[in-house]
Copies of this chain bind each other. A is one copy, B any other.
């Protein structure tokens, strides 16, 4: 009930995966991909609520989301939980475990999901042999750092409404890149989980949704969200939505 469930699916193949443009295979020539296929020999199915790994578990593998979604979180001593990642199709998780070969967070499925198991020791070995794989692994590690910095910017400088707007737009973009509707999707996290992710309470999140619905920016029923005025949402998120200009130090 606590840990992962489900049997292994038929052997997956990165070379044939429709998510390869988001995941590890990016930039790897077809003939090298077969070597990655051999490495990723297993998938794990998770039911909603199942844990993929727990804080402290030894690192055996990192994981790519095949379908569904997961959250990862860490706990403070006093039992509060900080969601540090929301992982959807084609995204990797478990990267924070590489440092000392133990998972530094806990990952739980937000819905029935399936992940590909990338045994890490072998991935490292292969990435030393396949430059394009090495490149992509580094890219993904760096991207994670960058995203975390963006979250720090949210939590550090933005008011509640702006944080939520930024979060929704980011999610919207990631979903639409994967072929889903940009303005109509299902939130897989509860108000409490969203709050944890954004450094807010569940009540504040709920109130914000109500208010944004009231003002016609979006409509939300349970976790079904429709963005009715994307421009307004972008405006709330901070206008330009582009990369900030070069800054002047000092």
1/0 contact string of A217-250 vs chain B (CB within 8 Å): 0000000000000000000001110111111111
1/0 contact string of A36-73 vs chain B (CB within 8 Å): 00000000000001110011100000000000000001
A100: which B residues are within 8 A, CB to CB? 139
A81: which B residues are within 8 A, CB to CB? 247
A50: which B residues are within 8 A, CB to CB? 249
| Residue from the list B2, B75, B146, B249 in contact with A96, Cβ < 8 A | B146
- The reply on A104 being an interface residue by CB < 8 A is yes
Task: Establish whether residues A55 and B246, one from each chain, have CB atoms under 8 Å apart when the complex forms.
Answer: yes
A95-115 CB contacts (< 8 Å) to partner B: 95-100, 104-106, 108
- Complex alpha-carbon distance, A124 and B128, angstroms: 9
Task: Establish whether residues A138 and B151, one from each chain, have CB atoms under 8 Å apart when the complex forms.
Answer: no
- The reply on A143 being an interface residue by CB < 8 A is yes
